[in-house]
Amino acid sequence: MAATATFNEKVVSVTFSDRFKSHYNHIWLRDNCHCKQCYHDVTKQRLLDTFKIPTDIQPSSVEVDHVSSFLKVVWNNDEHLSTFSLSWLKANAYNPLPPGNEDEDDDVDYGSYSPWNKKGLRYFTPEVEYDDVISTTDGVKDWVNKTSAYGFCFVQNVPVDPIKTKELIERITFIKPTHYGGFWDFTADMSKNDTAYSNIEIPLHTDGTYWSEAPGYQSFHLLKHNGTGGTTSLSDGFNVAYTLKLLNPKYFELLSTVPVDFHCAGEEDVFIQPVVSRPIIIVDEQNKDKVVQIRWNNSDRSVLKIPKSFYQMNSTAMNVDFVETFYKAISAFRELLHDDEQEMFYQLRPGQLLLFDNWRVLHSRTSFTGERRMCGAYYSKDDFISRYKTLNNKREDLVAEL
């Protein structure tokens, strides 16, 4: 069956060759005109002034060109011609959504998530070789894809040199600067008044819980250690959150809805708290079954206040209950993170860089003796995902559906 199009006062209705039929509001179609006059072909930005479109705009004609597979619409106010490819129309159909796309979830596609616990990683370590990454784009792609899937990946046989390490990190994308610096190179000298710059134990945590947007990724390269301890552990926070949801849905609900503050205030001229408080387990607003970020650092957690939307003005007992349940919930979460079946221990060595997803995988370090020097950097989430997408797709396919 060939595609057809009709229109009424409100919508253009397109029936595709597979009989799928969708309706498009006139103003929506006019606003999304991708002709050279309305849309910058190179920058992929809108040139059209949306607010000059008459709100009651209508087509004077619609027609499907079967040779080019385009819908042609001529508008009644100025005879402007808009053309839309049928594949673009189908990909962007919203009323109804195309078959198989009803949950709208495939939009944020940056790699298949492979949950892990200790069993899953018993015979397998996500890793790549320095030489491959430094000299080939396929090597970078392999590194990015493994990091996306497992939430962490080692690079083996890295020169034990901070300059070469920075170069390696920058193979993926830009370094995200913070008050710790861009590329950091640190020892236990308390230069930043944070426990990371001491030799005491740091339990499983994500970094930057106190920023409005925590760093998406973090890398570590141990340059030197002449002493004992300083063991790293990793735990898949997404796997733990989903496990908590199964074992205790009430705690999951609490941790994914109660906003919790964290702070960074060790230095003279630093005082950071997020603009908007957010929960410890952040779920996708459109799909509450999907965990998108873990914010957890018990050392940096601020004083608990009952958020307004949870506070019971007329019930002291309910407020008592709230605090009691909150402490039980974080305790259950912490227990699962450190569970024997879940937490993986690694003794980092010079020559080995660890990159991990700081929104998903929590890290820890045991206390240590001796001199220990570590370098590394942060990336923002969006820069990494952009690199993932451009490495794994053809640019023309990515921009085709914009």
Ligand X SMILES: C[N+](C)(C)CCCC[C@H](N)C(=O)O
Give me the residues that bind ligand AKG (CB under 6 A), please: 196, 202, 207, 232, 363, 365, 374
Q: How far is the CB of 358 from ligand AKG (least distance, A)?
A: 9
Pick the stretch among 24-32, 119-127, 203-211, 343-351 that binds ligand X (CB under 6 A). Answer: 203-211
Residue 372 makes contact with ligand X by CB under 6 A: no
Out of 142, 207, 236, 357, which residue is the one contacting ligand X (CB under 6 A)? 207
Bridge-based pairing of strands 11-15 and 184-186 is unpaired
Q: How far is the CB of 367 from ligand AKG (least distance, A)?
A: 10
**Which DSSP category does 368 fall into?**
B
Residue 205 makes contact with ligand X by CB under 6 A: yes
Partner in contact with 232, chosen from ligand AKG, ligand X, none, beta carbon below 5 to 8 Å by kind: ligand AKG
Residue 100 Ramachandran class (φ > 0 left, ψ -120 to 50 alpha, else beta)? left
Helix 137-150 × helix 381-392 angle, to 10°: 120
CA distances from 147 to 160, 351, 385, 387 (A): 22, 18, 11, 12
Of 173 and 219, the one with the shorter C-beta distance to ligand AKG is: 219
**CA separation for the pair 73, 81 (Å, rounded):** 6
Residue pair 302/273 in contact (Cβ under 8 Å)? The answer is yes
**CA separation for the pair 142, 145 (Å, rounded):** 5
Partner in contact with 121, chosen from ligand X, ligand AKG, none, beta carbon below 5 to 8 Å by kind: none
Of 294 and 374, the one with the shorter C-beta distance to ligand AKG is: 374
Residue 376 Ramachandran class (φ > 0 left, ψ -120 to 50 alpha, else beta)? left
Out of 151, 208, 237, 274, which residue is the one contacting ligand X (CB under 6 A)? 208
By residue count, the chain amounts to 402
Pick the stretch among 101-109, 179-187, 311-319, 365-373 that binds ligand X (CB under 6 A). Answer: 179-187
Partner in contact with 180, chosen from ligand AKG, ligand X, none, beta carbon below 5 to 8 Å by kind: ligand X
Of 194 and 343, the one with the shorter C-beta distance to ligand X is: 194
Partner in contact with 142, chosen from ligand AKG, ligand X, none, beta carbon below 5 to 8 Å by kind: none
Of 251 and 368, the one with the shorter C-beta distance to ligand AKG is: 368
DSSP for 84-105, written as a single string: EEHHHHHHT--SSPPTT-TT-G
Tokens at 16, concatenated = 């595709």
Of 148 and 232, the one with the shorter C-beta distance to ligand AKG is: 232
SS3 71: strand
Out of 32, 239, 297, 342, which residue is the one contacting ligand X (CB under 6 A)? 297
Partner in contact with 147, chosen from ligand X, ligand AKG, none, beta carbon below 5 to 8 Å by kind: none
Residue pair 323/303 in contact (Cβ under 8 Å)? The answer is no
Bridge-based pairing of strands 127-129 and 152-156 is parallel
Of 4 and 195, the one with the shorter C-beta distance to ligand AKG is: 195
Residue 237 makes contact with ligand X by CB under 6 A: no
Residue 300 makes contact with ligand X by CB under 6 A: yes
**Which DSSP category does 31 fall into?**
H
Out of 184, 251, 252, 333, which residue is the one contacting ligand X (CB under 6 A)? 184
CA distances from 203 to 42, 244, 338, 362 (A): 48, 19, 9, 9
Partner in contact with 208, chosen from ligand X, ligand AKG, none, beta carbon below 5 to 8 Å by kind: ligand X
Can you give the binding site for ligand X, defined by CB under 6 A? 180, 184, 186, 194, 196, 205, 207-208, 297, 300
